[in-house]
Structure 1
Amino acid sequence: MNENSQQTPWYRQAAAVIPRHGYLKSIGTTLFISLFFGAYLYLLKDPAYPTTVMPITLLDRLIGFQPQALPLYISLWVYVSLPPALLSTRRELYGYGMAMAGTCLAGLLIFYFWPTAVPAANIDWARYPGVDFLKNMDASGNACPSLHVTTAVFSGIWLHHLLRRFGAPLWILISNWMWCIGIIYSTLATRQHVAVDVLAGLVLGVLAAYLSLRFRMDADVIGKLQHPSI
C-alpha cells in the first residue's frame, strides 16, 4: 500500500474497486454459479456408485433443527460474490476464479467417486415451506464434503485478506467471520449436512484458500523481482 491508499478510508478504497471490471465480475460470477449448479445437480441425480449415508454424531444431536437458519444458508450466494467484487485487476479475478473453480471441482470429483447422503430426518418438512422447497431442490446427496461450508470458508479467508489489505477495522473483520460461521451453522441447523460433512468442508476450504493465497503472494513476489520499478 502506498501513502495515499493508507490515508484513504477503507470503505472508499473498497467502493472504488467494486465497479472495476463490473461486467466481468457480474457475468463471470453468474456463469460460474450456473455451471456449478448444473454439475452439482447432475451428480446429485445420477451418481456413479452406491451412496454412503453419513453418520450422526453428538454435535448433530446437540444442534436442533432451526428453520430460521434458512436465510443464513441462502445468504452464501451473496457471500461468495463479495471477494471477486473486491478484486481490482483482471489478473486477480482470473486467478481467484481458477482457484474457486479448482476447489469446487475437487469437491465434485469426490461426489463422483464417493457419493454420500445425509440421513433422513424425522421431520415433517411440509410444516416448513421454505426448507421443504430447499429439500426438493437440493436433496440430501452430495453431502461430504459440504461444498456450502467449503465455499463459505474459502470466501471468508479471502475476504479477511482483502479487507485487511484495505485497512478495514476489527469490527468489520469480526463481522465477516460471524457471517461465515453463521453459514456453516446453518448447514447443520437446516439438516442439509451433518457434522462430518462440515468438518470435511472446513478442511477443503482452508486448504484451498491457503494454497491459492500462497500462490498469489508468490506470484506477486516474482512479479516485483522481474519488474522492480513497479
Structure 2
Amino acid sequence: MASVSSVASSPAVAWYLALARRIATLWVPKMVGTTLGISGFFFLYFWVMHNPLWQPTVMPLTPLDHWVGVSDDAMLLYGSLWFYISLPPAFAKNKAELWACARDAALMAAVGLVVFWVFPTVVPAFAVDWARYPALQFLKSADAGGNAFPSLHVAFAVLAAVQLGRQLRSVGAPAWLRVVNLMWAVGIVYSTLATRQHVLLDVLGGALLAGAISWAGSWRDWRVWTEARG
C-alpha cells in the first residue's frame, strides 16, 4: 500500500491541494476586497457613463464586427467575467501576490475610466430586434453600450488570464487546466462582440491596455525581487 506521503506528493494531488491552500489563505480579506472592488468599480463606471465631458464618439465598425453574429447564449460567457476575475485574488498565495492582483486591476480600471471620461465613446445603434434576444435586451437596458473604448470587459479578462496562467504554472497544474483558462478568456472576449456591447476596436484597445498593465506589473515585481536579493 502506498504511503500517505507518496500519495500527497503525486502531481495530480499536489496542484489541487496547492490551489486549495491558496484559497484558504487570507480568504476573508480576499472576499471582502473583491466584493468592495467590483462594487466600487461599477459605481464609478456608471457615473462616468452618465456624466461624459461631451458627446460620445460612435465607434466605427470593421468587417469582423459584421461577421460575428448576435448570440443570446453569449450572455452567459459575458456575465461569467465577474466570477472569472475573482479567481486570481482567490488563488493568491500571500499578501504580496494579493496586493499585486489588486494593484494591477485598480490601475487598469483607473486608466480605463479616465479614458472613458476624457474621450467618451459608444457603440453604434445596431439594427437588431432586441426583443428576439431576451437576455441581451436586459443587458441593453442596464448598460447601453457606452464607455466602449477600450473595452474593460476584455481588459479584465486578459489580465485575469495572464495572472491565472502564472498561478497555474506555479503549482504545476496540468496542461488541460491552463487551456481551459485560456479558452475561458477567449470566450469572454468573443462575447463582447456577440452581445454587441463592443466592436473590434474596443476589443483591441482593451487587450493592449491589459498587456501594458501586466507587463508593467511584472517589471515592477521583478525589480522588487532583484532589489530584495541584492
TM-score (norm 2): 0.93
Aligned equivalents of 2:222, 2:56: Cα separation in 1: 40
Does 2:94 match 1:89? yes
Structure 1, unaligned runs of 5 or more: 226-230
Equivalent residues in 2 for 1:32-71 (5 A)? 32-71=37-76
The CA deviation string for residues 139-158 of structure 1, in whole angstroms up to 9 with x for no partner, is: 11100000000000011011
Tell me, yes or no, if the aligned pair for 2:68 and 2:194 is still in contact at 8 Å.
Answer: yes
Counterpart of 2:165 in structure 1 is 160
Does 2:137 match 1:103? no
Q: Secondary structure at the match of 2:74?
A: helix
Q: 2:126 aligns with which of 114, 121, 126?
A: 121
Equivalent residues in 2 for 1:11-30 (5 A)? 11-30=16-35
Counterpart of 1:180 in structure 2 is 185
Tell me, yes or no, if the aligned pair for 2:150 and 2:206 is still in contact at 8 Å.
Answer: yes
Q: Secondary structure at the match of 1:9?
A: helix
Aligned equivalents of 1:102, 1:6: Cα separation in 2: 39
- Aligned letter for 1:81? S
Runs in 1 of length 4+ with deviation above 2 angstroms?
Answer: 4-8, 220-225
- Aligned letter for 1:191? R
Tell me, yes or no, if the aligned pair for 1:149 and 1:183 is still in contact at 8 Å.
Answer: yes
Q: Larger deviation: 77-86 or 125-134?
A: 125-134
The CA deviation string for residues 124-176 of structure 1, in whole angstroms up to 9 with x for no partner, is: 21222211111111111100000000000011011101110111111111110
Q: Secondary structure at the match of 2:127?
A: coil
The count of corresponding residues between Structure 1 and Structure 2 is 222
TM-score (norm 1): 0.93
The CA deviation string for residues 12-48 of structure 1, in whole angstroms up to 9 with x for no partner, is: 1011110111110000000000000000000111111
Q: 1:190 aligns with which of 191, 195, 199?
A: 195
Tell me, yes or no, if the aligned pair for 1:147 and 1:201 is still in contact at 8 Å.
Answer: yes
Tell me, yes or no, if the aligned pair for 1:5 and 1:13 is still in contact at 8 Å.
Answer: no
Counterpart of 1:228 in structure 2 is none
Tell me, yes or no, if the aligned pair for 1:107 and 1:147 is still in contact at 8 Å.
Answer: yes
- Aligned letter for 1:20? T
Tell me, yes or no, if the aligned pair for 1:187 and 1:193 is still in contact at 8 Å.
Answer: yes
CA positional deviation for 1:5: 8.2
Tell me, yes or no, if the aligned pair for 1:145 and 1:200 is still in contact at 8 Å.
Answer: yes
Q: Secondary structure at the match of 1:48?
A: coil
Q: Secondary structure at the match of 1:77?
A: helix
Tell me, yes or no, if the aligned pair for 1:44 and 1:139 is still in contact at 8 Å.
Answer: no
Aligned equivalents of 1:153, 1:39: Cα separation in 2: 21
Does 2:70 match 1:72? no
Aligned equivalents of 1:80, 1:180: Cα separation in 2: 10
CA positional deviation for 1:182: 0.2
CA positional deviation for 1:102: 0.5
- Aligned letter for 1:181? V
